[in-house]
Structure 1
Amino acid sequence: MSRKDGLTFWKLVKISRPLFWIYFPLIFYLGVLFSGGGLDLYQILIMASMTFPLELAGLGLNDIYDYKSDLANPRKGGIQGYKLSKPEIKKLKIISYLAAIPTYLIVLLTGKIQFILTMFLFGLISYLYIVPPFRLKGKPILDLVSGGLVLI
């Protein structure tokens, strides 16, 4: 990352909201635990990739499409992420898409079809929730249903 565009590694960390890093790995671990399974190397790698990389992918895209409302939001910044500048948006979009790749590569390597389909469905719902023209975020009922589906 060059300083010219303003997106340093530490800004990307702020965008990924480190306080949320535990959320998806914990849900994943509880799913493994309650299914009676144990953790294997793939599952540990997936849990690790659900921290910074996957959160950067989702929250990076979210920040891009919430850009205008975030500018007016006095709570944005600090633990609430980072206020993007207009020139940073294009690069963050590319970085956000690339950040999801490690998780999905590991998922594919497991060879477990049900797991692969579940994770790709999770990615699709997350994408539809955040990105126009679908942008289910903020649409009554669809917002609630899509948010709930991502959590299960």
Structure 2
Amino acid sequence: MTDGAERMSSVAPSGVGVSLRRLVLVSRPVLWINTIGSGLVAVWLTGTLFDLRALPVLLWLTLPFNLLIYGVNDIYDQDTDATNPRKGSIEGARIHRSEVRLIAWAVAAVNAPFLVVFLMVLPPLANAAILLYVGVFVFYSAPPLRFKARPFLDSLSNAAYALPLVIVPAALSVTPVWPAALGLMAWSVAKHAFDAVQDIVEDRDAGITTTAVRLGARGTALWSGAWWVVSAASFAVVSVPVAVVDLLIAGVLVVRLLRDPTPETGHRLYRLSVAFPYIAGTFAGVLLMVSIVLGDAR
């Protein structure tokens, strides 16, 4: 009995550890910047470096919400992911059918406690934005809506990535900076379509008509470019330097894709696209923090 117990105790933690590592991989840590980054910027836009009242929302925007986004996506995209060479790497997980139950339970387990607490303590606007945030990303992948397979709606639905700029200030009873929120909405619409160019072949073969499939690589470059111009115009209301950086990086991406409008070019540009929010977000964050510190000094 003692030997058996020892064997079980040595195996169980290892199994748990493997499962946890797998769930973290499914949550795409390299893409957490899209949620936690906008959450932190939202705090800085309220005029303070940090507010402890925002901590629960910021924690939710790390593993829990990203596991919801990408876990649900992986569950419903198993067939297309199986033939996509990008999957099974840092660019996205390739799950097995045996993992579906684990992922589904994990999504519920790490998100439900936050959502229950938010519904009990946060103001109505914050909760409305949170429920919209969750709903959009669940039904981006899940039927019956499955925005992912609806051209233009797939791209437009990704405007929801900007909702932390509404959720965080609303949770702190502060008016959101709407030009910044609208600018990030337009930016997210553009980036989603642009990143989907690399998957045109796999999506078309699977019978999924995304914005990129419908417009083709060249048309998608123009679509994304137009939305990035809109985002820069909105950002300029808040910060001209941020708008300029946004437009410069977007311009590089769009021009390079227009010069060689193929899925292969989209894939080559994906790393710069992933770096885009890190570069622009860091620049915007530094400007905001300097402004806050200098404001406090005065």
Go from structure 1 to structure 2 and tell me whether the alpha carbon gap of 1:126 and 1:68 turns closer, same or farther (over 3 Å shift): same
CA contact (8 A) 1:2 1:8 kept: no
CA distance, structure 1, for counterparts of residue 108 and residue 70 of structure 2: 11
Give the letter for the 2:160 counterpart.
Answer: L
Question: What is aligned with 1:70?
Answer: 81
CA distance, structure 2, for counterparts of residue 64 and residue 146 of structure 1: 19
CA distance, structure 2, for counterparts of residue 39 and residue 112 of structure 1: 19
1:109: how far off?
Answer: 4.7
Q: Deviations over 1:65-96 (max 9, x none)?
A: 01011111111122123221111112322222
User: Which runs of 5 or more residues in structure 2 are unaligned?
Assistant: 1-11, 164-298
- Which is further off, 40-49 or 121-130? 40-49
SS of residue in 2 equivalent to 1:103: helix
The answer to whether structure 1 residue 32 and structure 2 residue 46 are counterparts is no
Go from structure 1 to structure 2 and tell me whether the alpha carbon gap of 1:88 and 1:59 turns closer, same or farther (over 3 Å shift): same
1:2: how far off?
Answer: 8.4
Question: What is aligned with 1:60?
Answer: 71
Q: Deviations over 1:11-50 (max 9, x none)?
A: 1111011112232111122223223356432312211221
CA distance, structure 1, for counterparts of residue 102 and residue 42 of structure 2: 35
CA distance, structure 2, for counterparts of residue 46 and residue 31 of structure 1: 11
Q: Deviations over 1:43-64 (max 9, x none)?
A: 1221122111111111101000
Give me the CA root mean square deviation. Answer: 2.6
Question: What is aligned with 1:9?
Answer: 20
Question: What is aligned with 2:114?
Answer: 103
CA contact (8 A) 1:46 1:106 kept: no
Q: Which has the larger radius of gyration?
A: 2
1:106: how far off?
Answer: 4.3
CA distance, structure 2, for counterparts of residue 112 and residue 73 of structure 1: 42
SS of residue in 2 equivalent to 1:47: helix
Task: Trace 1:79-118 onto structure 2 (pairs within 5 A).
Answer: 79-118=90-129
CA distance, structure 1, for counterparts of residue 118 and residue 131 of structure 2: 9
User: What is the identity percentage for the equivalent residue pairs of Structure 1 and Structure 2?
Assistant: 27
Identify which of structures 1 and 2 has the higher relative contact order when contacts are C-alpha pairs closer than 8 Å and 6+ apart.
Answer: 1
CA distance, structure 1, for counterparts of residue 51 and residue 128 of structure 2: 19
Go from structure 1 to structure 2 and tell me whether the alpha carbon gap of 1:3 and 1:85 turns closer, same or farther (over 3 Å shift): farther
The answer to whether structure 1 residue 133 and structure 2 residue 144 are counterparts is yes
CA distance, structure 1, for counterparts of residue 70 and residue 13 of structure 2: 21
Give the letter for the 1:135 counterpart.
Answer: R
- Which is further off, 99-108 or 64-73? 99-108
SS of residue in 2 equivalent to 1:58: helix
Go from structure 1 to structure 2 and tell me whether the alpha carbon gap of 1:72 and 1:87 turns closer, same or farther (over 3 Å shift): same
Question: What is aligned with 2:131?
Answer: 120
The answer to whether structure 1 residue 44 and structure 2 residue 55 are counterparts is yes
CA distance, structure 1, for counterparts of residue 105 and residue 111 of structure 2: 11
Give the letter for the 2:112 counterpart.
Answer: I
User: Which runs of 5 or more residues in structure 1 are unaligned?
Assistant: none
